[in-house]
Amino acid sequence: MKNIAADSSPDAAHRCSKRLRITFKGLVQGVGFRPFIYRCAKAHGLTGFVKNTGRGVLVEVEGDAIEAFLRQAITQTPPLSRIDGYRSRRIPERFSREFTIVASEGEGAGDVLVSADVALCDRCREELFSPGDRRHLYPFINCTDCGPRFTIIEDLPYDRPKTTMKRFEMCPLCREEYARPIDRRYHAQPISCHDCGPRLRLLAPGIDPADDPVTEAVAWLRSGRILAVKGLGGYHLACLAGSEEAVARLRRLKRRERKPFALMGTLEMIERTCVVSEAARILLVSPSAPIVLMKRRSSEGIAPDVAPGASRIGFMVPYTPLHLMLLNGVERPLVMTSANRSDDPIIYRDDTEELLDLADAVLTHDRPIRAFADDSVTMVDSGEPYPIRRSRGLVPLPLDLPLGSRRAILGLGAMLKTTFTILFQKRAIPSQYIGNSDSPGTLEAMRAMIEHYGKLFRFEPEVLAVDRHPDYPNRLLIDDFPGAEVVEIQHHRAHIGSLMAEAGLRGKMIGVAMDGTGYGDDGTIWGGEFFLGDPASLKRFGHLRYFDLPGGEQAIREPWRLALSLLVALNRGEASLAAFAGRFGDRGERVLEVIRKGVARIPTSSCGRLFDAVASLIGLGDTSDFDGDLPARLQEAAEKSARPGGYYPYKIGGGDTVVLDLFPLLDAILDDRHGVAERAFIFHATLARAIADMAQIARDRSGVGIVGLSGGVFQNLLLLSLTRSALEDEGFEVVVHRQVPANDGGVSLGQVFLAAAMLEKR
């Protein structure tokens, strides 16, 4: 282990002492660590004590078997715990008579980690459905191995009076379990039962509260109605996944036209509906229980509007006892989507009026949620997790970085898929997914969570790492920290920085950042970028050829404008231009005139916008309902192809800054007589090949053989796989994301990491 302190006592008698003081740091509170230490000490015949402190867990042990105790303590830890380091020293003997667990103390500054919320464990699940158990059908059953953690913690150290459970006084039986070190509910802070715990209520206009809220809620769901359900980190909107009417109505209420809904089902239901690999199964039933995106096996029992046209759907298992009871009652898969309007934070306060605007009834309870946390989302790539959203079940677990900072750094993230990250020393703690910060509600939620993290981790930022875009709304938070130094980090460098941070890289890397939008050093919109360097000096050595973004944001919502702009740039001829523009009537003619005049246009190198344009050009859609809508359709089409061989043409040129020109590809794809699916696949294959050629140029210049792939475009698993194969065939080591998303949800980690590197160099 690390951080083993030398014996600092000057007294020789102390060196011979049979008493040792140990401070354990890491994830050691709220995970059964103290009762584990108690059992270890008892097994080795030691006396002393263990207690939580603001700096970790403090242990004093006395006796003849201290070394054996310490070996067991650091090698056989509870499954949810994690020791990041410990310090030990000999102290004078106190001749204590027994080993005890004593009350916590609250000093300290940020050395303690907070456990993420943990899905229902197998033993609690068994008790939940055992008629003879006193917690039979108790919707809040938990133990030290499962249940709420982060979402109920108000302050540290982690004890019941500092959680939202403080309002529930334990009954004698729960208190006995809570105080018994050998019990699996020893110091399980959310411990409760039917007699002393939170109470469920079903609320709906014009009805009296139900005597059996779960049974009544099941009846509401079975009848095709929409139910708001209070989970660990916020409310869900639930309805029958197979009810076309309920799903269509839910889309109207959420104002969400096409973006897929998340589903909840038992493992058996999921395996009937999806192709579940072993890696996906492990993720589904893991303590974090994320939503896992998997390919469909069957659409039986799933309404088409759940995920229109998508070959992949996202499922999670019921991770709380309440969700499990609902699902067992309904006996069919449920839509289980966040209760919010699209891109706003998840609703977590008990605002019945707001919830009833989205649902027919509200299944709620009186245990407050202190910190909201939307569900985490992941895919499987090459048998490994590939995160899309890092939130409930994973936050606020830290990442240990290869370099750190003596000054506390706060990264404010991007505008979309907003997160923030705090960094002190070499420990980074990314926040949960918050929303899109162009929403006022998201900005206020972000401000509240930054304050909460500051309290939990005794964190006061001295440096703010922010995106270079001058108009990002989260830059408004700079005013909250008037004494902090502001460091601007370019968006795409932050993408590469996030990958370096999680992979533990301090040296040089070739970084490929492919996404939709980011403010570039030259004032244009970047999005297809190639970097070379180490964390302190990432230089842009190449990019995709610029093309015009006509009308700015409007072209993102209506990618046909991009397609038309590219047709003009390609000189496709008056007949082609008139035919394409004519599809959109007078608007098409007006946009074509604007493009020809060269007004209201913004140069961009965006790979995401290129995907939009190609999808529109080959007939897959003209408008985008959500971020990544048309690129997802292009991927779907390519995956259905027979995977023809060959590539479209492209050019690579330029001097110090290399330009990858894909205009020849666009000409070729328009002239190709293959079907849509085949053209979509060749487009993917060509882009992957071109990226590998750009990497070879970088290697020839620098000798660097490591390539990192980041940015939201690489959420496309087909492109990721083809690009990795092309690079590995050329002998490159390829690094991809495994802990934070490739999309903008990882940007805040990259910001603090690159800021730390810049400060270290300075």
**59 and 207 fall within a common domain:** no
- Of 362, 377, 392, which one is at a domain's C-terminal end? 377
Dist. CA 122–CA 61, nearest whole Å: 33
Strands of 485-489's sheet, edge to edge?
421-430, 399-411, 463-467, 485-489
- SS3 for 140-204 is CCCECCEECCHHHECCCCCCHHHEHHHHCCCCHHHHHHHHCCCCCCCCCCCCCCCCCCCCEEEEC
Mean pLDDT in order along the chain per 10 residues (762 residues): 35 59 88 89 93 87 93 89 89 89 64 87 97 97 95 91 96 96 90 97 87 95 97 97 97 91 97 97 97 94 94 97 98 96 87 93 97 98 97 95 95 96 94 91 94 94 97 93 96 98 96 96 96 97 94 87 94 92 92 86 94 96 91 96 94 93 97 96 98 98 97 98 98 98 98 96 84
Put residue 75 in one of left, alpha, beta given phi > 0 → left and psi -120 to 50 → alpha: alpha
Q: Is residue 268 one of the residues assigned to a domain?
A: yes
Q: Is residue 252 one of the residues assigned to a domain?
A: yes
Query: What range does the domain containing 361 cover?
Result: 200-377
Q: pLDDT value at position 9?
A: 36
Q: What is the pLDDT of residues 220-277, one digit of tens each?
A: 999 999 999 999 999 999 999 999 999 999 999 998 889 999 999 999 999 999 999 9
**75 and 206 fall within a common domain:** no
Q: Is residue 251 one of the residues assigned to a domain?
A: yes
Q: pLDDT value at position 6?
A: 33
Q: pLDDT value at position 95?
A: 87
**245 and 363 fall within a common domain:** yes
- Of 377, 410, 437, which one is at a domain's C-terminal end? 377
- Of 332, 354, 377, which one is at a domain's C-terminal end? 377
The CATH number of the domain where 93 resides is what? 3.30.70.100
**205 and 90 fall within a common domain:** no
Q: pLDDT value at position 16?
A: 56
**82 and 211 fall within a common domain:** no
Q: Is residue 395 one of the residues assigned to a domain?
A: no
**207 and 94 fall within a common domain:** no
Cβ neighbours of residue 240 under 8 Å, at least 6 residues apart? Answer: 221, 222, 224, 246, 330, 332, 333, 334, 335
**59 and 208 fall within a common domain:** no
Q: Is residue 576 one of the residues assigned to a domain?
A: no
Residue 474 contacts residue 434 (beta carbons within 8 Å): no
Q: Is residue 690 one of the residues assigned to a domain?
A: no
What is the chain's length?
A: 762
The CATH number of the domain where 327 resides is what? 3.90.870.40
Q: Is residue 735 one of the residues assigned to a domain?
A: no
Dist. CA 449–CA 351, nearest whole Å: 19
Pairing of the two strands 99-101 and 47-53: parallel
Dist. CA 143–CA 31, nearest whole Å: 9
> Domain tally for the chain?
2
Put residue 470 in one of left, alpha, beta given phi > 0 → left and psi -120 to 50 → alpha: alpha
- The CA angle 476-478-484, to the nearest 5 degrees, is 175
Q: Is residue 342 one of the residues assigned to a domain?
A: yes
